[in-house]
Amino acid sequence: MRLDEILLRRGLATSTQIQEALEYQKRNGGRIESHLFRFGYVDESGLVSGLSEQFGCEGIRLSDVEIPEPVIAMIEPEIAFAKLVLPFAHDTATNTLHVASENPREENLREDLTAAVPDTNIRLFVALSDILKVALIANYRARVTYAGKEERPSERDDTWLNQNTSHGRVLILDADGTDIRTCEHALREAGFDTWVARSTDTFMDQFASGRFDILLLMHSGTCEEVRRLVDNLSVQGFEPDVLPTCLLTGDLPVGACTPLLRDGFADAIPMSDPELVVVKLKRLRAMLTWDAERRFVEMKSLGTHGTLEDMNLIDLLQALGPSFKTARISVTAEGKQLTVFLDKGKIIYAECDGITGPDAIYEAIPWTRGIWSVDPIEPGELPDPNTFSSNESVLLEGCRRMDDKNHSEENDLAFPNWL
């Protein structure tokens, strides 16, 4: 019997609640019990009892269970995450390991667990998927080994610097009309996709597009004139620490730019030395590539499920984008659920409790506590797009809105309405 029929027969959910959960499942995928639980229609006890009847086995409320470390150690984290199972008790009298699963009927599950824990009896219990994922992460977090490089490669390792060709889109602001053709040519010869904005308005439009990885501000005037240029850009929403930003100086000594470096600029480079510009941008490009690879390695080490404390939404989307995956991302937090669909790594659809498009992602970016899952899907399972901006543009705008909200809240705290 289907779970919805069991819940209706037992009076644990109404037909209206079931229908709402089914419609949400049809639009966004996932499991009906997860939607009923998130909407607050059925609690964990009710869902576990329904699942127990559906699967014909005992159920376990994992939110009530404290699992001893020796029990967790009986199943390796790679197997636990791959099979989505959690050992929670060991009966030493009968040498039986009690294991929670979202699907105890999964083909070959018992055989695989018996092979993983030889000479031990396996007893399977059904658990609510959402609670199971949280418990998995909570109990195995300290046991997961992060693969990959522990340290960044040496900045003097030119071979490593030269082999990185991603993250090489450079936008140059040349507002005062300086001849920068030699610098442009040197960057393009080094494999950088280089664009030049001749006005601050054009620069800000391109900055907001999210298409670029590194920014260069060219100004040949005095330190005060450079400061005015930066202040003018800041008024329009530019922040030098959002993307790596370097100052290209003309006659201005690099030392005079020290105050700007404290404001978030990555470097100040004399334009008269194009080779130095190329070397420093190669270094930036390499570090950006390393960061992206690190995020992806961390995501892979967490498996297909994780918490926002382990990896927040921005890092998750940045890790998945370059992987060109076609997948559905589900994020549950604060009683809400965000569903995002990626088509070869590009965000094409987002929905969060009735909010659609990029606004749904903006809603979820501030979340700091919750769980996420990534499920590979076939291209035919993708919904009609409702998001058309680049991933970088969506995330950049989301960060800007979060910053605006934080500043507004700080002002509200500083100046209460009753003053």
Residue 254 has pLDDT above 80, yes or no: no
Residues 196 and 272 in one domain: yes
Residues 162 and 255 in one domain: yes
Residues 207 and 249 in one domain: yes
Mean pLDDT (whole number) for 199-218:
82
Residue 138 near residue 305 (C-beta atoms within 8 A) = no
117/316 Cα distance (integer angstroms): 33
Report which of 242, 247, 206 is spatially closest to residue 230, judged by C-alpha positions: 247
- Could you say which of 231, 259, 289 is where a domain stops? 289
Host domain of residue 89: 62-143
**What letter would DSSP give residue 75?**
S
- Could you say which of 259, 289, 319 is where a domain stops? 289
Mean pLDDT (whole number) for 95-113:
93
Q: Is residue 23 part of a domain?
A: yes
Measured at the CA of 227, the angle between CA 226 and CA 232, to 5 degrees, comes to: 100
Residue 141 has pLDDT above 90, yes or no: no
Residues 163 and 275 in one domain: yes
The two structure tokens encoding residue 25: 């499942």
Q: What is the CATH number of the domain that holds 88?
A: 3.30.300.160
Q: Identify the pLDDT of residue 147.
A: 36
Residues 180 and 274 in one domain: yes
Q: Identify the pLDDT of residue 204.
A: 87
Residue 302 near residue 322 (C-beta atoms within 8 A) = no
Residues 180 and 226 in one domain: yes
Q: Is residue 53 part of a domain?
A: no
Q: Which residue has the higher pLDDT, 342 or 31?
A: 342
Residues 279 and 170 in one domain: yes
**What letter would DSSP give residue 385?**
P
Q: Is residue 162 part of a domain?
A: yes
Q: Is 377 exposed, middle or buried (0-12, 13-18, 19+ CB in 10 A)?
A: middle
The backbone torsions φ and ψ at residue 164, rounded to the nearest 5 degrees and listed phi first, read -90, 115
Task: Give alpha helix (H) positions in 272-312.
Answer: 274-302
- Could you say which of 143, 168, 187 is where a domain stops? 143
Q: Identify the pLDDT of residue 51.
A: 96
If you average pLDDT over each of 24-28, 80-84, 93-97, 184-188, which comes out highest?
93-97
Residue 120 has pLDDT above 90, yes or no: yes
Q: Identify the pLDDT of residue 109.
A: 93
Longest dimension (CA), the chain: 83
Q: What is the CATH number of the domain that holds 185?
A: 3.40.50.2300
6/19 Cα distance (integer angstroms): 14
Q: Identify the pLDDT of residue 189.
A: 87
Mean pLDDT (whole number) for 327-353:
90
Mean pLDDT (whole number) for 313-330:
82
331/369 Cα distance (integer angstroms): 10
Measured at the CA of 321, the angle between CA 317 and CA 326, to 5 degrees, comes to: 100
Share of the chain above pLDDT 70, in %: 80
**Reported confidence tier of residue 91, pLDDT bands at 50, 70, 90:** very high
Residue 198 has pLDDT above 60, yes or no: yes
Residue 56 has pLDDT above 90, yes or no: yes
Residue 36 has pLDDT above 70, yes or no: yes
**Single-letter amino acid, residue 344:** K
388/343 Cα distance (integer angstroms): 11
Token pair 């559906």: residue: 54
Q: Is residue 52 part of a domain?
A: no
191/194 Cα distance (integer angstroms): 9
Q: Identify the pLDDT of residue 410.
A: 46
183/198 Cα distance (integer angstroms): 15
Residues 164 and 137 in one domain: no
Report the relative pairing of strands 193-197 and 169-174 from DSSP bridges.
parallel
3-class secondary-structure state, position 154: coil
Q: Is the pTM of this model over 0.95?
A: no
Residues 12 and 131 in one domain: no
Residue 67 near residue 139 (C-beta atoms within 8 A) = yes
Share of the chain above pLDDT 90, in %: 27
Q: Is residue 150 part of a domain?
A: no
The region of weakest confidence among 26-30, 275-279, 296-300, 412-416 is 412-416
Q: Which residue has the higher pLDDT, 272 or 141?
A: 272
Q: Is residue 297 part of a domain?
A: no
First to last CA, the chain: 62
Residue 57 has pLDDT above 50, yes or no: yes
Residue 280 has pLDDT above 70, yes or no: yes
Q: Is residue 123 part of a domain?
A: yes
Number of domains, the chain: 4
Q: Is residue 319 part of a domain?
A: yes
Residue 223 has pLDDT above 50, yes or no: yes
Q: Identify the pLDDT of residue 53.
A: 95
Q: Identify the pLDDT of residue 265.
A: 76
Q: Which residue has the higher pLDDT, 75 or 396?
A: 75
Q: Identify the pLDDT of residue 378.
A: 87
Report which of 267, 266, 268 is spatially closest to residue 253, judged by C-alpha positions: 268
Q: Identify the pLDDT of residue 165.
A: 46
The region of weakest confidence among 53-67, 139-153, 228-242, 316-330 is 139-153
Residues 409 and 357 in one domain: yes
Residues 136 and 219 in one domain: no
Residue 169 has pLDDT above 90, yes or no: no
Residue 173 near residue 203 (C-beta atoms within 8 A) = yes
85 bridge partner residues: 101
Q: Which residue has the higher pLDDT, 252 or 347?
A: 347
296/317 Cα distance (integer angstroms): 10
The region of weakest confidence among 158-167, 184-193, 246-255 is 158-167
Residues 127 and 174 in one domain: no
